[in-house]
Structure 1
Amino acid sequence: MSAPAVLGWTLLSAIAPGAAHLRAGRRRTGLVLLGCYAAGLLALLLAYLTVDQVTLGARLIADSSLLTTLMVALAVLGLAWFALIIRSFMVLSPGRLPQRQQMLMGTLAGLLAVAVLTPFAAVAQVALALQSMTDGIFVAPPEAATEQQSGPADPWASRERVNILLLGGDADDNRTGVRTDSMNLASIDVATGNTVLMSLPRNLEDVRFRPGTPMAQKFPTGFRLPPDPGGGRSDLLNSVWEYADAHPELFGGRAHQGAKVLMDTIGYTLGVKVDWYALVNMWGFARLIDAIGGVTLTVERDVVFGKYNEGLVKAGTRRLKGADAMWYARSRTYSDDYTRMRRQRCVISALLEQADPATVLSRFNKVAMATKELIRTDIPRTMLANLVPLAVKVQSAKVTSIQFVPPLINTGYPDYDKIKAIAAKAIRDSGRPAPVAATASSAPKPKKSVTATPSTNPTKSLGDGCGGL
C-alpha cells in the first residue's frame, strides 16, 4: 500500500472508525467498530431530537456529580479515539514503506490523533470551568438542598412568580462591610418569563421593617440613627445589610444576618416575598463585561469620574470595556443617584441583549472565572435545574422596570403604601397577555416606548431612556 493510501485510510478511520481495519482485511473488528460508531451517532441524534438541551444543561450545572461523570466520560472517549487512530495506522502495515515515508506518515498520523483528541479536551475544560464556577457561587445550606431534593418535580406548580433580589455591592479591600448601592427586585412570571424589575434608591429614608422582627422592635417608627460625624447618614436603605451584620446582638447573637434582613425589608417594602438574593460585586461586574469582549452603549453625554474628576467616558455610541462601563453606571459626579440608577439599568439592558449564547460559549473560560469572582448568592445549586430554563424564557420575554425615585416618590418622606400599590399593579400587568388589538395593529411601532408620567403609569420598558436623552 502506498504512503498516500495509508494516510488516506487512517484519516477516514478518524471519521468512520473501522474503515482501516476493513481495508486491512480485519472484517470482524472493522464491522464491530463501524456498528458501535453508527449506534453512537443514532443515540446522539435521538437525544438531540428528544431531549431539551436547556434542561439537560441546567441539570448538569445543578448536579456536580453529573459534571464529574461528563468529564471522565470525555477523557475516556478522547483517549479511546486517540488510541483508535494510532491502531488504525498500525493495521495498515506502514512498516512496508520506505523508512523516510514511514517517518513522515507516522508523524502525520500522530498529529491527526492529537487533533482528534483536542475537541474532547476542550469540552472537558469547559465542563471543569463550569464546575469550578458553580461550586464557588452556589453554596447551598445542607437543609436547603435536602428540602429541594425532596420537593415536587416542578417547584413552580403552586406559584405564579419568583422574586429574586439583585444587589450591587461596593465591597473592596479598603472598605469594611457591604453597602448595597444598587437594589433591584426581579419579579418573574414562571409561565411566560415576563419580568418586572423594581429599583429602589440607595438613599431611601425612614425604612420600615416587617412588624415583629428584631429590626422593627429596634426601630418601631422607621430606621433612624444620629447623623455621622461628617454629616452623612448611615440609616438609609443601602445601610440595612451593613447595620444588621454589625449588630448580631439584635438577633440573639447570630452573625451575618444582613442578607436575610435586607431581603425581608425590601420584600415588606414592595409587598412581595423575596425568594433569594444575588449580590454582585460592582467591580467584578467590570471583569464580566471584559470577559464577553465589552458592551456597546450609547453614552448620551460625557460622564466624569475619579477622585479629582480626572476620568471621562465620552459621549457617543461605541463598545466600552468593563471599567468604562462601570464608571458610566456608577459615577455621581455632576449627577445624582437617580440618573445613576437609570444608567445602571441601561448597562443591564445592554448585557441582556448582547450576552448571547454564542458569545458566552466562545469566551466561556473567561466568563466562568469572572462570574465566580462576581456573585454571592443564597440560591441552592439544586434550584439551577429550574432557574436556568426560566432565565432563557426571560431573555425573550417582556422586561419592564419601575424606578421608585422622585417625582414618583419622595425619598426623604416615602409613601410606603403608594410603593406597595404601584408594585402590585406592575406585577399584575406583567402577567397579562398583550391586547389583541395592539398586536394586530398595522401602524408602525416606535423604537422606544414613550415615558409615562408618574401619575399615570410609571412602568417602562427596561431599555427606555437609554441613549436617547
Structure 2
Amino acid sequence: MPDRSGPVRAGAVIGWTALSVVAPGAAHLRAGRRRTGLTLLSVHAAMLLALLCGALTADLGDLAGRLVASSWLTVVTAVSVALGLAWSALVVHSFVVLNPAALSRVGQAVTGTLAGVLAVAVLLPFGLAGQYAAISQSALEKVFSAPAPTAPSAAPSVGADPWAGRDRVNILLLGGDADTHRVGVRTDSVNVASVDVETGDTVLLSLPRNLENVRFVPGSPMARRFPDGFRLPANPDGSREDLLFAVWEYADSHPEVFGGRKDQGTRTLMETVGHILGLKIDWYALVNMWGFARLIDAIGGVRLTVPQDVVFGKYDEGVVKAGTRRLRGADAMWFARSRTDSDDFSRMGRQRCVLGALLAQTDPATVLARFNQVALATRELLRTDIPRPMLEHLVPLALKVKNARVTSVQFVPPLINTGYPDWRKIRSVTARAIRSSGAPRRHLGATATPAATPATTPTLTPTATPATTPTLTPAATPAATSTPRPSAGTEDVTAPRNITDGCG
C-alpha cells in the first residue's frame, strides 16, 4: 500500500508534480509507489544516456542527412506526438498519486490548475517538434518532387555509393527573373557549383546572362536549328532575346524544334551550360528571385552594406539608400536586381552579395523562431530536379562545403568578351580551376589561366571567414599590390556565403 504519512500540503503536491516533469517517477516514490517510481526513473535515465552517447558518437553530417529523409521525418513526427502525449499523461498521473483529494477545495482547484498547466507545457515542445517535422516533410516533398531517374546511379540502394563513383557533382544554380508580365522562365543568373564529394572543396563558375552566340551540344535539336550559334533578330526596341538567359524560355516556347516535345527548356539549358564549360551537369536548382524577398522577410530582413544609392524601376520609381542597415526583402531584391545606371556584371556581384548575406545570417535560432514562415517561403523559392532520395546525401555534402575551400571564377570582361566568347578558353579556365581545387592546399596560389595574361586572369581565392555584412572587393592580381580597383565586372570573389566585402 502507498505510504502517505503526514498531512498533504498544496505546495508539496505542486513541487513533486513539477519535479516529475524532469525526473519521471519522483512523485511516485514520494507517494510510496517505489517499484513504479524506480522503473520510471530507470527508463528516463536510460533514455538520457542513449541520447548522450548518440550525440557524442554521431556524425553530424550523416545525422543531418537522415533527418531530411522522408522515412526519418515520418518517424520523428510520430515519436514526438507519442512521447508528448505520454509525458503529459505521466505528469497528470504523478499529480493524482499524490492524493490532491485530501486538500481543501481551494487547494484542489489551485493545484489542479497548476498541474494542468504543467501537463500542457510538457506537451508543447514535443508538439512543436512533430509540427516542424511534418512541415519540413511537406515542404521537401513539394520542392524535391522530381521522380527519381531509373538509372542505377541515380537512386542508390542502402550502403551503395550515392555518387556512383563520381569524384565531383556539378549542380547548375539558376536565378529566375520571372515576373507576372513575362512569358516563360528567364535565367537572370547562371552559376555552376562543382563540388568534390570527398572534401567538399567547391568551384563556383559564373556565366553572364548576356553571353552571345551561345553554342549548343553538337547534334542536338538546338544545334541543328542554330548551327552557327544562338542568333535571332533584335526586338523593335533593340533588346535581345538570343542571349544565354533566354535559352530556357526559347526551348520551352518552340516545341517544334524538339519534334513536338514540350518543356524542353530545363534539359536544354543544362546541356548547353555543360557544353560551354566542358562539364556534365548532374542537377539544377532554380531560385525565384522574388521568392528570396519572401524568405528575407521571413527571417526578419538581412543586414547589408550598400556602398552607394541604387535607383530601381523602369521610371526610377525608388531608391535603395547607401549605408549599412537591415533591409526588407523587397529592398534587398531591388538592390540585387536593379539595372538602372548599372551593367549586368555589377548586378551579378550584387546578387551574389545578397545571397552571401542571407546564408551567413540565417542562423538556426532564427529559423526555428520563424519556422512556419521560412518553410512557406522556401516552398515558393526553389525548383529543382534533384531526386528526393538524393537529399539525404547532399545535405552532409553541403555541411562539408561550409568548412571547405570555395573558389570562384566569373567569365566576364576582360577575361571573356561576352559578345564574342572564346569557348575554348572558357573550357580551359574551368578545367584548370577544378584541377586547382582538387590540388593540395599549398597549391591554391595557382591562377586559373596562364600567367602570360595576368590582366585577365581570375585568381582562385580561398574562402574567407563569413561575415554578417558582406562586401565585394577585387581579388589580388599577379601584378603590384597597388593595382587600382577594377570595375565590378572584373572582380573575382569567393563563393556567395563568404563574400566579406561591400556590395560595390
Report TM bin, short chain. Answer: over 0.9
Q: Judging changes above 3 Å, is the alpha-carbon distance between structure 1 residues 114 and 468 closer, same or farther for their aligned structure 2 residues?
A: closer
CA-CA distance at 1:363 after TM superposition: 2.6
Task: Measure the CA separation in 2 of the matches of 1:373 and 1:391.
Answer: 21
Question: Which residue pairs with 1:99 in the alignment?
Answer: 105
Question: Which residue pairs with 1:73 in the alignment?
Answer: 79
Listed as ranges, the matches of 1:280-429 within 5 Å are 280-429=287-436
CA-CA distance at 1:253 after TM superposition: 2.2
CA deviation profile, 1:179-220 (whole Å, cap 9, x unmatched) = 101111111122222222111111111000111111111111
Listed as ranges, the matches of 1:194-209 within 5 Å are 194-209=201-216
CA deviation profile, 1:63-118 (whole Å, cap 9, x unmatched) = x2321221111111101111111111111110011111110000000001111111
The amino acid across from 1:451 in the alignment is A
The amino acid across from 1:129 in the alignment is I
Question: Which residue pairs with 2:88 in the alignment?
Answer: 82
Question: Which residue pairs with 1:37 in the alignment?
Answer: 44
Q: Judging changes above 3 Å, is the alpha-carbon distance between structure 1 residues 430 and 22 closer, same or farther for their aligned structure 2 residues?
A: same
Contact kept? 2:301, 2:326, Cα under 8 Å: yes
Are 1:242 and 2:249 an aligned pair? yes
Q: Judging changes above 3 Å, is the alpha-carbon distance between structure 1 residues 274 and 36 closer, same or farther for their aligned structure 2 residues?
A: same
Contact kept? 2:436, 2:443, Cα under 8 Å: no
Are 1:467 and 2:502 an aligned pair? yes
Q: Judging changes above 3 Å, is the alpha-carbon distance between structure 1 residues 134 and 318 closer, same or farther for their aligned structure 2 residues?
A: same
Moved more, 78-87 or 313-322: 313-322
Contact kept? 1:400, 1:459, Cα under 8 Å: no
Question: Which residue pairs with 2:142 in the alignment?
Answer: 136
Structure 2 length-normalised TM: 0.86
Question: Which residue pairs with 2:20 in the alignment?
Answer: 13
Contact kept? 1:165, 1:185, Cα under 8 Å: yes
Q: Judging changes above 3 Å, is the alpha-carbon distance between structure 1 residues 77 and 215 closer, same or farther for their aligned structure 2 residues?
A: same
Task: Measure the CA separation in 1 of the matches of 2:413 and 2:381.
Answer: 31
CA-CA distance at 1:139 after TM superposition: 0.8
Unaligned segments of structure 1, at least 5 residues: 439-444
Structure 1 length-normalised TM: 0.93
Contact kept? 1:451, 1:464, Cα under 8 Å: no
Contact kept? 1:145, 1:382, Cα under 8 Å: no
Are 1:451 and 2:486 an aligned pair? no
SS at match of 2:155: helix
Contact kept? 1:67, 1:131, Cα under 8 Å: yes
Q: Judging changes above 3 Å, is the alpha-carbon distance between structure 1 residues 229 and 310 closer, same or farther for their aligned structure 2 residues?
A: closer
CA deviation profile, 1:257-291 (whole Å, cap 9, x unmatched) = 10111011001101111110000010001111222
Q: Judging changes above 3 Å, is the alpha-carbon distance between structure 1 residues 84 and 446 closer, same or farther for their aligned structure 2 residues?
A: closer
> Greater relative contact order: 1 or 2 (C-alpha under 8 angstroms, separation 6 or more)?
1
Q: Judging changes above 3 Å, is the alpha-carbon distance between structure 1 residues 371 and 399 closer, same or farther for their aligned structure 2 residues?
A: same
The amino acid across from 2:436 in the alignment is D
The amino acid across from 1:300 in the alignment is P
Query: How well do the aligned residues superpose, as a CA RMSD in angstroms?
Result: 2.5
The amino acid across from 1:110 in the alignment is G
Task: Measure the CA separation in 2 of the matches of 1:33 and 1:151.
Answer: 36
CA-CA distance at 1:455 after TM superposition: 10
CA-CA distance at 1:33 after TM superposition: 1.4
Task: Measure the CA separation in 1 of the matches of 2:347 and 2:473.
Answer: 20
Moved more, 322-331 or 428-437: 428-437
Task: Measure the CA separation in 2 of the matches of 1:143 and 1:326.
Answer: 35
Moved more, 45-54 or 280-289: 45-54
Task: Measure the CA separation in 2 of the matches of 1:270 and 1:411.
Answer: 14
Task: Measure the CA separation in 1 of the matches of 2:209 and 2:259.
Answer: 28
Q: Judging changes above 3 Å, is the alpha-carbon distance between structure 1 residues 211 and 138 closer, same or farther for their aligned structure 2 residues?
A: same
Question: Which residue pairs with 1:435 in the alignment?
Answer: 442
CA-CA distance at 1:349 after TM superposition: 2.2
CA-CA distance at 1:364 after TM superposition: 2.4
Contact kept? 2:216, 2:275, Cα under 8 Å: yes
Task: Measure the CA separation in 1 of the matches of 2:114 and 2:141.
Answer: 41
Contact kept? 1:184, 1:197, Cα under 8 Å: yes
Task: Measure the CA separation in 2 of the matches of 1:380 and 1:206.
Answer: 33
Runs of 4 or more consecutive aligned structure 1 residues displaced over 6 Å after TM superposition: 445-449, 454-458
Task: Measure the CA separation in 1 of the matches of 2:106 and 2:361.
Answer: 53
The amino acid across from 2:502 in the alignment is G
By percentage of residues, which structure has more helix? 1
CA-CA distance at 1:142 after TM superposition: 4.4
Contact kept? 1:329, 1:344, Cα under 8 Å: yes
Unaligned segments of structure 2, at least 5 residues: 1-7, 446-462, 466-471, 481-489
Q: Judging changes above 3 Å, is the alpha-carbon distance between structure 1 residues 465 and 386 closer, same or farther for their aligned structure 2 residues?
A: closer
Task: Measure the CA separation in 1 of the matches of 2:444 and 2:68.
Answer: 42
The amino acid across from 1:467 in the alignment is G
Q: Judging changes above 3 Å, is the alpha-carbon distance between structure 1 residues 231 and 84 closer, same or farther for their aligned structure 2 residues?
A: same
Question: Which residue pairs with 1:251 in the alignment?
Answer: 258
**What number of residue pairs does the alignment pair up?**
462
